[in-house]
Amino acid sequence: MSSYVQTILTAVIAFPFIAFLFTFPYIIYNYRKYGSVLSFRILIVYSFILYLLCVYFLVILPLPSIDEVARMTGPRIQSVPFMFIRDIFQESDFRLRDVSTWITLIKNKAFFQVFFNFIMIIPFGIYLRYYFRCGFRRTFLFSFLLSLFFELTQLTGLYFLYPRGYRLFDVDDLLINTLGGIAGYLCAPAFMRLLPSRENMDKASIRRGMEVSLPRRVLALCFDLFLIFLADAALRAALPDGRQMPGSLWLIPAFLYYSFVPALTGGRTAGKWILRIRIGATATGSRPHWYQYPLRCGSLLLFLFALPRIFSLLPPLPAFLCYTVWFFFLAYTGIRAVRHRDLFYERLSGTRNISSLADQPCRSEEISS
């Protein structure tokens, strides 16, 4: 039992690193599909990842040395079905006429191995039916494929890292694991009564996605800035004295990018397209006039970068007062952004960020239903 606990602790320690690699594409997927990232959905998906990680580590750990595996001479495959029944009887002291020996059928190593293989995949069947909305056939298939993946991992010696498999490929494990997945599917309704349905989670996610949250805007901005800095690097490389030019040169491609790309694409930059956002007119949500885009971008760049440079040219006391006012207004703008209020450059330009989910009539029907 201590080895199982140690393996699970290892999975828990490794989980943050695996989750970090998964987080970014998962967030993008949710914003693309729903326009928001629901916290309860994150809890379910990440618990599913942690569960799979624990099961995988239980399959491959502890790792032996390569020399130890090279010296192994035992069988690699057990291809006879239901051999676990014989093993349980052999490991026990069962005698039909002696009732006191019957308990040994469930108090031996062979039984516990079968039992753990069975319960190990039960959560997988629950996840498949509850969150992934799989039917019986798909749950059966995916449970079998998961078990087959584990057995092939063992047969190939951790994908040929070892000279041979260091654990037995057992057809009984395929049967027991698959039965565990089916058992999870059958008992999933008991959990589904206590948890919100997948349909309700989807509707809540889309409802939130109709508003453009601050994290969504920031993530779109990060995509756009990445492209802008690539353009800036290309511009510096193309110019003869590009490396000696001021660092603020990137403001030129930034202004051109935010002014002309949305005008040509119906209010979308690359980042806004990925995050399902577009720029619309404040009053109607329709496509703004061409001049509203440079007004929107120019007023923001002027406030963030031009004003501080102008303040630096003033005497110390006026400069300090100007910087103070600028800082408090910046903080006020941040508070308004968190509260989903229109910002100053949006008011000046008569534009605002709109979720492009609202452009799909089927999404509105999902929310109202």
Cα–chain center distance at 276: 17
Percent of the chain scoring above 90 in pLDDT? 45
* Average pLDDT of span 123-146: 95
167-217 pLDDT, tens per residue? 889 999 999 999 999 999 999 998 888 888 888 899 899 899 998 888 999
Percent of the chain scoring above 70 in pLDDT? 95
301-347 pLDDT, tens per residue? 999 999 999 998 899 899 999 999 999 999 999 999 888 889 999 99
pLDDT value of residue 247: 67
| 3-class DSSP state of 332 | helix
Q: Is the pLDDT of residue 361 over 60?
A: no
293-303 pLDDT, tens per residue? 999 999 999 99
Task: Judge contact between 256 and 197, C-beta under 8 A.
Answer: no
18-68 pLDDT, tens per residue? 888 888 888 899 998 888 888 888 899 999 999 999 999 988 888 888 899
User: In the chain, which ranges are continuous DSSP H helix?
Assistant: 2-33, 39-60, 66-70, 83-91, 109-120, 122-130, 136-155, 157-160, 171-192, 198-209, 214-238, 251-265, 270-274, 292-301, 307-311, 316-338, 344-349, 361-368
**How far apart are the C-alpha atoms of 219 and 271, rounded to whole Å?**
8
pLDDT value of residue 220: 94
pLDDT value of residue 243: 66
**How far apart are the C-alpha atoms of 294 and 255, rounded to whole Å?**
7
Q: Which long-range contacts (CB under 8 A, 24 or more apart) does 255-258 make?
A: 255/294, 255/297, 255/298, 255/301, 257/224, 257/227, 257/228, 257/231, 258/224, 258/293, 258/294, 258/296, 258/297
Confidence label for 4 from pLDDT (cuts 50, 70 and 90) = low
pLDDT value of residue 96: 76
Confidence label for 3 from pLDDT (cuts 50, 70 and 90) = low
**How far apart are the C-alpha atoms of 230 and 220, rounded to whole Å?**
16
Confidence label for 17 from pLDDT (cuts 50, 70 and 90) = confident
Confidence label for 1 from pLDDT (cuts 50, 70 and 90) = low
The position carrying tokens 């008569």 is 350
Confidence label for 79 from pLDDT (cuts 50, 70 and 90) = confident
Confidence label for 289 from pLDDT (cuts 50, 70 and 90) = very high
Confidence label for 84 from pLDDT (cuts 50, 70 and 90) = confident
**How far apart are the C-alpha atoms of 334 and 341, rounded to whole Å?**
10
CA proximity to 14, closest of 66, 58, 69, 65: 58
Lowest mean pLDDT among 83-97, 111-125, 294-308, 331-345: 83-97
pLDDT value of residue 291: 93
Cis peptide bond upstream of 361, omega within 30 = no
Kindly report the backbone phi and psi dihedral angles of residue 291, in degrees, each rounded to the nearest multiple of 5, phi listed first. -75, -15
**How far apart are the C-alpha atoms of 149 and 152, rounded to whole Å?**
5
Tokens of 235: 């511009």
Decide which of 73 and 171 is more confident: 171
pLDDT value of residue 139: 96
CA dihedral 337, 342, 347, 349 (to 10 degrees): 80
pLDDT value of residue 90: 84
**How far apart are the C-alpha atoms of 181 and 131, rounded to whole Å?**
14
Report angle CA 33, 358, 195 to the nearest 5 degrees.
50
**Residue-wise burial string across 30-65, b where 16 or more C-beta atoms lie within 10 A, e elsewhere:** bbeebbbbbeebeebbbebebbbbbbbbbbbeeeee
Decide which of 233 and 296 is more confident: 296
Task: Judge contact between 269 and 308, C-beta under 8 A.
Answer: no
Confidence label for 249 from pLDDT (cuts 50, 70 and 90) = confident
CA proximity to 93, closest of 103, 84, 83, 80: 103
DSSP 101-151: GGGGGGSSHHHHHHHHHHHHSHHHHHHHHHTS---HHHHHHHHHHHHHHHH
Count other C-beta atoms under 10 Å from residue 247's C-beta.
Answer: 7
Q: Is the pLDDT of residue 163 over 80?
A: yes
Question: How would you classify residue 188: left for phi > 0, otherwise alpha for psi between -120 and 50, otherwise beta?
Answer: alpha
Q: Is the pLDDT of residue 155 over 70?
A: yes
Q: What mean pLDDT, rounded, does the chain reach?
A: 88
| Element housing 353 (H / E) | strand 351-355
